[in-house]
Amino acid sequence: PDNKEKIKLPETETGSKLADERTSDLSDVVSEAMPSLVSITTEGERDIDTWFGSQTRMVQNQGSGVIIDRDEKSLFIITNNHVVEGAKNLNVTFDNGSTVNGTVRGTAEYTDLALVEVKLSVLDKKTSESIKVAKLGNSDAIKVGQMVLAIGNALGYGQSLTVGYVSAKDRVVTVNDITMKLLQTDAAINPGNSGGALLNLDGEVIGINSVKFSSNA
């Protein structure tokens, strides 16, 4: 006879918000977030070393942004500082394809963030009614292993989605003598994603993506 002691394993709950069927279809989260996201294109002067010495040339830069506030006169968009740095001209493209001029209102190089303003007076009625202010979440509440979505103007082709998980919190990264604590994710962050949104599964913004730090974080 088998005298081995039979051990009854405790029952475990496998159902959770992150493990339900919603994780296989995130289209509702994406469609809700898209009206609060923009693409940003800038033109500026840059000194480039050539065989004939240093020359100043006009260069174009592309990135993303998130609408974080709106008042009676303006929209306010957050993006990365390195997206708008040195910009002479700045264009903002909304989810419906409408493009208008924007103005840099503030920058913070040490956090790689910048604030862009768009006057409501330059928007057509359809665009003004379709855009949304992003829902802001609590990045402190996110846990390692939770699923996140990164949306941005990847490679300048327009808004696209990548999905991954939070790999680490408070990751210390130093770039150009600037040290920051960042969220690390394995969601693909490509050139043009800079300034785009990192979302939780409730569609709340918990971070701003930065290609500047992605190769180090």
The set of catalytic residues is 82, 112, 194
On the 0-12 / 13-18 / 19+ scale of CB atoms within 10 A, 206 is buried
* Residue linked to tokens 């327009």: 158
In the chain the first and final C-alpha atoms are separated, in Å, by 58
Rounded to a whole number of angstroms, the CA Rg of the chain reads 21
Rounded alpha-carbon distances, angstroms, from residue 78 to 148, 176, 192: 19, 22, 14
Nearest-CA neighbor of 150 among 213, 193, 214? 193
Residue 155 to residue 6: CA distance in whole angstroms: 58
Residue 212 to residue 198: CA distance in whole angstroms: 15
Residue 136 to residue 75: CA distance in whole angstroms: 16
For residue 118, count other CB atoms closer than 10 A to its CB. 23
